[in-house]
Amino acid sequence: MNLLLVGVNHKTAPVALREKLASFIPDPEEACRALKTYPELSELILYSTCNRVEVLCVTAVAEEAETRLKAFFARDEEIAGALEESLYIHRDLDAVQHLFRVAASLDSMVVGEPQVLGQIKEAYRQATSQNASGPILNRLLHKSFSVAKRVRRETGIGDAAVSVSYAAVSLGKKIFGSLAGKNVLLLGAGEMAELALEHLRGQRVAQVVIANRTLERGVRLAERFRGEAVSLEELEAQLLSADILISSTGSPEYLLTRDQVKAAMRRRKQRPLFLIDIAVPRDLDPGINDLDNVYLYNIDDLQEVVAQGWEHRHQEAAKAERLVAAETLKFLEWLETLEVFPTIIDLKEKADRICGAELDKTLKQLGPLTEEQRQALEVLTHSIAQKLLHDPIIFLKRNHHPKKIQKDLDLVRRLFNLDLDRQEDAKILVEKKSSKPPE
């Protein structure tokens, strides 16, 4: 069996092509059902995100499966021409290593971002619900999850901020020590606000309030993150309970002035207020930073944090790559043992046939025996066969190497004449069928 991975991502395909592929595969579950009909694919999983579309499969006929998957990606004429240079194909070791790197967020646009692991887990759930995944992919996907967990636990790949939104949340954690129990107020409901909310997940904040000019858009975003939406007219009132304010609107003028915040601080009894303005042009009056117990950061302040974060993550990524390489080899060692099982089964079946035939001859010569005596002879012959096969089986299980496994299998099969036995069994089966009278 071979592992085969075919796909495109943000490194190989421009955003226009990725958009077309995403619209071409709007329903991954439906696409998975279509792929299941391909006889060349014995197991498969498909995951489609904004930055990648990949199909990972198990196949006994790698060349034919590759042709099938290329055709699957190129079904749309607009896509077919652009795919030639964008499509990548990985087999076996490369396919395993690629999956582990994706799951560990080493192949992401933003190294260390955790979202892609959740997307792969969802794709795996869909594949198992449709019985598209099997024993090999089940083990491989679960291994990818544990590899991603190890990378998170044993490296600092996710520690440093590498996006402005992440930097904003990280700064909040530094000032307060923990965001648990804090109230967060977001100005704006655009992409930057959405990213900030993604990074706030799991921080156990007490409340999230989204203030937006268009209330409907704020409500939609708030529903996704179990927050509350308010209009910009309620901004000053919301300042009274907020601990952190993150602003990212497209307003051409200040949404909060120094005087407004000063008035709010009096009513807050000078309880600290942390403000992050990541809008260009700025939403918050720079004079706000002169107030006591008020901490205002703008996007330039965060850029330095982001630059430091990139350097830190790339250093930690080198450690993660070593971990992924080691885990890849371990998985391939397990995968290679699957190749020896048919030969081991053939060995045992041949031994059972010989033992059975010889035991029948012996019993005929010995005459009547008690049931205990008969069972003792059966145990004896079975035990001798097991002991004789022990060393060849251990040899197959332990002494294999990726480049010589097939040589070892051929050697054992020739020594024990296993292929000839199979041919004779097949011949006997055909003769039995042909001699059977018609019904």
* Average of per-residue pLDDT across 210-239: 91
**Looking at residue 102, what is its pLDDT?**
93
Confidence of residue 430 (pLDDT cuts 50, 70, 90): very low
Mean pLDDT of the chain: 84
pLDDT beyond 90 at 435: no
- Give me the phi and psi of 303, to 5 degrees please: -60, -40
Query: Which residues partner with 295 through β-bridges?
Result: 274
Instruction: State the amino acid at position 274 in one-letter form.
Output: F
Confidence of residue 421 (pLDDT cuts 50, 70, 90): low
Question: What's the CATH class of domain 2-154?
Answer: alpha beta
Task: Enter the DSSP assignment of 252.
Answer: S
pLDDT beyond 70 at 347: yes
Q: What pTM did the predictor assign?
A: 0.58
* Average of per-residue pLDDT across 265-293: 91
pLDDT beyond 50 at 51: yes
Are 326 and 379 spatial neighbours (Cβ–Cβ below 8 Å)? Answer: no
Q: CB neighbours of 271 closer than 8 A, spacing ≥ 6?
A: 243, 265, 293
pLDDT beyond 80 at 305: no
Q: For 54-58, 278-282, 295-299, which range has the lowest pLDDT when averaged over its residues? A: 278-282
Question: Residue 411: enclosing H or E segment and its boundaries?
Answer: helix 405-415
Q: pLDDT tens, 112-147?
A: 777 788 889 999 999 999 999 998 999 999 999 999
CATH number for the domain whose boundaries are 164-307: 3.40.50.720
* Average of per-residue pLDDT across 348-373: 88
**Looking at residue 306, what is its pLDDT?**
66
**Looking at residue 5, what is its pLDDT?**
96
- Give me the phi and psi of 51, to 5 degrees please: -110, -5
* Average of per-residue pLDDT across 73-98: 87
Q: At what angle do helices 135-154 and 299-366 cross, to 10 degrees?
A: 140
**Looking at residue 57, what is its pLDDT?**
95
Are 289 and 257 spatial neighbours (Cβ–Cβ below 8 Å)? Answer: no
Q: pLDDT tens, 369-419?
A: 888 988 899 899 989 988 988 888 888 777 555 556 677 778 888 888 888
**Looking at residue 78, what is its pLDDT?**
73
Q: pLDDT tens, 2-29?
A: 899 999 988 888 877 877 777 777 677 8
Residue with the bigger pLDDT between 191 and 208: it is 208
Q: Where are the domains of the chain?
A: 2-154, 164-307, 333-427
* Average of per-residue pLDDT across 234-259: 92
pLDDT beyond 60 at 423: no
* Average of per-residue pLDDT across 70-86: 82
Are 338 and 136 spatial neighbours (Cβ–Cβ below 8 Å)? Answer: yes
| Residues carrying an active site annotation | 50
Confidence of residue 99 (pLDDT cuts 50, 70, 90): very high
* Average of per-residue pLDDT across 223-248: 92
Alpha-carbon distances of 51 from 12, 21, 37, 109, 277, rounded to whole Å: 10, 10, 26, 8, 28
Angle at Cα 258 formed by Cα 256 and Cα 261, nearest 5°?
A: 70
Nearest CA-CA partner of 246 in 282, 270, 217: 282
**Cβ-based neighbour number of residue 35 at 10 Å:** 20
pLDDT beyond 90 at 308: no
Q: pLDDT tens, 168-198?
A: 777 788 778 888 999 999 999 887 788 788 7
